Amino acid sequence: MLWDMQNEVRDKIKEFVEEKYYAKLLKSIEKGNRGLEVDYEEINRYDPELADLVLDEPDKFFELFENVLVDHESKLKPRITNLPETNHVIIKDIRSKHLSKLLVTDGLVRQASDVRPVSAIIVFECPSCGMTIEVKQNTNTIKEPGRCTNCGRTGKFDTKSKKMVDTQRIVLEEIPELLEGGEQSKRISVFLQDDLVDPKIVAKTAPGSKVRVYGVLKEVPLVLRGGSKSTRFDLIIEANNIERVDKEFGELEVTEEDMRQIELLSKNPKIYEKFVQSIAPTIWGYEKIKESIALQMFSGVRRKRPDGTFSRGDIHILFVGDPGVAKSQILKYVAATAPKARYVSGKGATGAGLTAAVVKDEFLKGWALEAGALVLAGGGICCIDEIDKMNKDDRVAMHEAMEQQTISISKANIQATLRSETSVLAAANPRLGRFDPYSSIAEQIDLPSTLINRFDLIFIMKDIPNKENDEKVASYVLNTTKDPEIRQPAIKVDLMKKYIAYSKKINPSLTSEAISEIKNFYVNLRNKGSSSEETVRPIPISPRQLEGLIRLSEASARMQLRRKVLKKDARRAINLVTYYLKKVGVDPETGELDIDRIVTGITASQRSRIITIREILTDLEAKFGENIPVSEIFSEATERGLDEAKTEEIVDKMKREGEIFEPKHGFFRRLR
């Protein structure tokens, strides 16, 4: 249709540009832009027939539009935007009927290849008459002219010159919120060319980014092993325009009616209790855990410091519990309820699957960056079940993502830093599968102390038989099974999502009362018992927990849509942190809070004994030489107030860690 009236269409485009876009064209040329954004709705208002051609025969339309821009001495590429809703197609609904049509689709960038040059146009020369022929290249193999337009010669032509353009392939994955039930995310490849791979745009299409792609659907023949082409084809989108649409929690559309309900809910004096009751309503108890998850969904405020670094606003929570205490069920609930949440299991999660991986790109024959769960859940929550079952090296990959909220990759020829502004909700089993009532809890958490220390809150979930509690749990579960409707959340899930999305626009700041409350708690707790003459004094709380208190306080204020953090918000945060420290961070010998028990795995009293034994070894070495009698070590330790059992424990620990060894029976020697 278009070629039959090519000149007429070209004239219409020329008139449209001169009437509607001439000023914008001049401005784009002046700014040094390489693309000209054209609003589809403006074309539709100007000439509906022209608008139909944009959708039905986009390749020909863009070629004519480009020719018109060349007439105006411009090398700009037309970039369409604002297509009608009917042309918005989600990835899983793309079919063969969309081939060669203009469509728009949204997705998460899962992979991004290197930018590589390809031949867009090759100029051939006829060996017989010297005629030059331009051939546009749109396949993976070089396309030569069929015959010379001047002398009619067929056969091989000489290559005179090439016009190269930069190309990049990205892989789009469906947005998790659009999935239903147990659907798997579908993917499609998108090819970007020319100005769409400018460094500024490439930064917007990094793995984990949410983008909107306008483009033409094309088919690519699959090549079989023998080199022949298959009857099956792969689908790709040849992008015409790309926009970043990262809205994170704000994905959901909030109507005026929703706004009215949100405002009404925020004024409810029981709003805090309502949100806590809405978290996993089918699970009995765990009020403190549900309270912490509610605060995690709202999160604190991410702030940029004067030195250019950032303080994270995301709250990280860890559950450690016996089997069958509903850890996984809580994680599954959060993954299904919180916007932009991802669920992974430690058994099947690798460092690359959590952070990012470098994979081979089959199309452009280079390397591509593929984002993992912590990047794809950016702005949401990443639920990691069975974190203790993960490989040790894979757990190390999480350190940077949890605190600095970036993921640095330096593999193959790719050096990149990805953003992972994600809250982590993790669950683990105790070291021996079930808690041992005779050992301290901190010793039974089978995770490295460096990783444990990055969690703002740690909850212990024990399964201890108790007649009264067991009756309540049994009644709750049985009644829920009999009539599931009785366990409806206090706030409907859809409204809760929209409420959280709306709250993210509010960045509460600390009031002087809240600052004073947190400061007094922190200072008093750290200096409790400071007059003690112990060699090493326990540290009950560190600056990292102080930052956690601020995040929890801000989340509490956000929950009530307040722009100020009040004293009651600070008290709420203090109660949660105190609750978790009393469960995990208590030195069993002294009964005092000791954050080192979590941070390093060694209590202050243990460290004090280790220092004492080291001093004894130094003194005895000066007296007896390198080989120190064991009896003298125990005798000296008893004189300094250490009982024999504790001394034996420390000596065994030092032997295991290679500080000392036994050159002959009854003697120890220190390793240099």
Name the residue with higher pLDDT: 519 or 356.
519
Q: Is residue 177 part of a domain?
A: yes
Q: Is residue 72 part of a domain?
A: yes
| Residue 592 φ/ψ, nearest 5 degrees | -95, 155
pLDDT for position 531:
44
CATH assignment at residue 666: 1.10.10.10
Distance CA 561, CA 564 (A): 9
Residue at 584: amino acid letter: V
pLDDT for position 65:
83
The average pLDDT across 100-109 equals: 87
pLDDT for position 313:
83
Q: What share of the chain is helix, strand, coil (3-state, %, to 5)?
A: 45, 25, 35
pLDDT of 530 above 60: no
Same domain, 68 and 177: no
pLDDT of 308 above 60: yes
Structural domains of the chain, count: 3
Q: Are the C-beta atoms of 374 and 399 separated by less than 8 Å? A: no
pLDDT grade for 535, boundaries at 50, 70 and 90: very low
Count of beta carbons in the 10 Å neighbourhood of residue 630: 14
pLDDT grade for 248, boundaries at 50, 70 and 90: very low
The average pLDDT across 126-154 equals: 76
Same domain, 158 and 226: yes
The average pLDDT across 170-199 equals: 76
Same domain, 108 and 72: no
Reference 453, options 392, 516, 544; nearest CA is 544
Lowest model confidence (mean pLDDT) among 13-22, 308-317, 391-400: 391-400
pLDDT of 3 above 50: no
From its phi and psi, is residue 27 left (phi > 0), alpha (psi between -120 and 50) or beta? alpha
Q: Is residue 339 part of a domain?
A: no
* Coil, helix or strand at residue 486: helix
Same domain, 78 and 158: no
Residue at 455: amino acid letter: F
The average pLDDT across 354-359 equals: 72
pLDDT for position 2:
47
Q: Of 212-221, 322-331, 367-376, 399-408, which has the strongest mean pLDDT?
A: 212-221
Lowest model confidence (mean pLDDT) among 200-204, 512-516, 613-617, 661-665: 200-204
pLDDT of 272 above 50: yes
The most distant pair of C-alpha atoms in the chain lies apart, rounded to whole Å, by: 110
Q: What is the mean pLDDT of the chain?
A: 77
* Coil, helix or strand at residue 138: coil
pLDDT grade for 351, boundaries at 50, 70 and 90: low
Percent of the chain topping pLDDT 70:
80
Q: Are the C-beta atoms of 64 and 6 separated by less than 8 Å? A: yes
The average pLDDT across 281-304 equals: 82
The average pLDDT across 496-507 equals: 82
The residue among 198, 221, 246 that closes a domain is 246
The residue among 82, 117, 152 that closes a domain is 82
Distance CA 580, CA 585 (A): 8
Same domain, 156 and 225: yes
CATH assignment at residue 136: 2.40.50.140
CATH assignment at residue 36: 3.30.1640.10
pLDDT of 392 above 70: yes
CA distances to 428, 465, 480 from 324, in Å: 12, 13, 17
Q: Is residue 189 part of a domain?
A: yes
pLDDT of 82 above 80: yes
Reference 527, options 538, 518, 535; nearest CA is 538
The residue among 34, 50, 82 that closes a domain is 82
Q: Domain span at residue 192?
A: 98-246
Same domain, 125 and 9: no
Lowest model confidence (mean pLDDT) among 1-5, 228-232, 398-402: 1-5
Reference 423, options 460, 398, 442, 391; nearest CA is 398
Same domain, 127 and 189: yes
pLDDT for position 1:
46
